Amino acid sequence: MAEPKELRASPLRRLQALPDGHGPAWAVFAPPPSLSPTAGAALDLLRCLRAAPEGWTRVLWLSDWSALSLNCVSGGKTTADDLKAICAAQDLLVGCLRALDPQLMAGVVVRRQSEAILSDPSNYWISVINAGRAHSLGAIRAADENSEQVGFVIATLMAVADALALGAAAGTGRVLCCSSPRDARSLQLAVAYLEGCAAYKAAGLSPPEVRVVEGVSLALKADAAAADADAELLLLDGQPDVQRKMKKAFCEPGNTAFCPPLAVARELVLGCGASLEVKRREEDGGDRAFGKADGGQLASEFAAGALHPGDLKPAVRDAAWGTLSRVRAAVAADKALAAAEKEVAKAAKKNKKK
């Protein structure tokens, strides 16, 4: 990555997303919103949040205006329609995260980018401009393979400003965390900018650290086409969807290198605090129960042939639906989330017509 140009000494201009005197913070950057949020994407975010050290404040950053510049969600004819759909998708995702791990999410500070920006728009946009002055266009474009489009350039510069807003601290730790390689490159660009910023150093601030928490694939098929609706479980799948998808999921006896039911069991079932009940005939070893800490044992027994796909897949199907039904119930019980789900469904319907 190209080194940023040295900035002239000047007062540091930045948005402060966290107040002065705030202790160590672990800021997780949510990926661009989707009208069809997958269970895997939600679990990746939970993994990022769980990685925070004890005693650190967990912050979940929702980049709604960056998503608007990326044109990743279309909600209608106007920019206001698009932004409404983006915010609804983000609200729905946060509600699902709270249903999946309520104890963890109770301690998470959720910040929406636009709300933070509007609290101090002048300093935020000046920090975006300064970031643009500090790097060549080539360095900015290197952060994203799609950066020939102007929206991606703007989103990358906004990521630098977001990092400055969240990661500026004196005498305390700050970590910027994500699971997306694209987001990681943008955050690394931000750190490079801060390391070369004289005003940043003069203010006694230390650049944040970027951490990438590797995501887990919950792909149900080895080579599924992008348009395959059964390629992955969605957060709001109904019971028939889960049954159909898990029935088609690849599951080869003894193969743990790629075994979607094992991954679903480990991450979506056991990882979310549920148990896995495998029903078997007595001559096949009888019923078997696996708890939260038994993911390794589950894989070992499957690899050894003690668990057959015919027994594992139905058990994972029912347990996965148990987890997702909890998510659906939480959405239905909350008026704001139910309204967000309707807005997302409306936007998805409009997108299908295009």
Give domain status of residue 219, yes or no: no
Number of domains in the chain: 2
51 with 190, same domain: the answer is: yes
220 within domain boundaries: no
* Domain limit, last residue, from 197, 212, 227: 212
Mark whether 284 and 183 lie in a shared domain. no
Q: What is residue 6's DSSP assignment? A: P
- CATH for 347: 1.10.240.10
**In terms of Cα–Cα distance, which of 170, 229, 211, 151 is closest to 14?**
170
CA dihedral sign, ordered 214, 219, 223, 227: negative
Domain boundary among 212, 227, 251: 212
Q: Is residue 3 part of a domain?
A: no
Mean pLDDT over the full length of the chain: 88
Same domain, 133 and 277: no
Q: Which distant-in-sequence residues (6+ apart) come within 8 Å of 169 by Cβ?
A: 18, 22, 24, 25, 205, 206, 208
Percent of the chain with pLDDT over 70: 91
289 and 249, same structural domain? yes
Nearest to 284 by CA among 306, 264, 310, 268: 306
126 with 205, same domain: the answer is yes
Same domain for 33 and 140, yes or no, is: yes
Nearby residues of 264 by Cβ (< 8 Å), 6 or more positions away = 218, 220, 233, 246, 249, 316, 320
Q: Looking at the structure, tell me whether residues 123 and 192 fall in a common domain.
A: yes
Q: Are residues 163 and 248 in the same domain?
A: no
Question: Are 233 and 269 a contacting pair, CB within 8 Å?
Answer: no
Do 31 and 169 fall within a single domain? yes
Domain assignment present for 229: no
Domain at 164, CATH number: 3.40.50.620
| Domain extent for 257 | 239-353
Q: What is the pLDDT along the chain (354 residues), one digit of tens a residue?
A: 555 554 444 456 778 787 766 788 999 999 999 999 999 999 999 999 999 999 999 999 999 999 999 888 877 788 999 999 999 999 999 999 999 999 999 999 999 999 999 999 999 999 899 888 887 888 888 777 666 778 888 988 998 899 888 876 655 678 999 988 888 888 888 888 888 777 777 777 778 889 999 888 899 988 765 568 899 999 999 999 999 999 999 999 999 999 999 999 999 999 999 999 999 888 888 899 999 999 999 999 999 999 999 999 999 999 999 999 999 999 999 999 999 999 999 998 887 765
CA distance linking residue 268 with residue 233, whole number of Å: 10
The C-alpha torsion from 327 through 332 and 334 to 335, rounded to 10°, is 150
Per the domain annotation, does 196 fall within a domain? yes
What does the alpha-carbon distance between residue 41 and residue 89 come to, in Å, rounded to a whole number?
Answer: 13
56 and 178, same domain (yes or no): yes
The torsion defined by the Cα of 115, 119, 121 and 123, in degrees rounded to 10, comes to: -130
Q: Are 270 and 276 in contact (CB under 8 A)?
A: yes
Question: Measured in whole angstroms, how far is the alpha carbon of residue 329 from the centre of its chain?
Answer: 22
Q: What is the pLDDT of residue 169?
A: 63
The verdict on 69 and 182 lying in the same domain is: yes
Position 17 in a domain: no
pTM check: above 0.85:
yes
Is the same domain home to 344 and 196? Answer: no
Q: Which of 163, 195, 212 is the last residue of a domain?
A: 212
Q: CA quadruple 338, 343, 346, 351: dihedral positive or negative?
A: negative
Rounded Cα–Cα distance for residues 176 and 162 (Å): 10
pLDDT at 33: 92
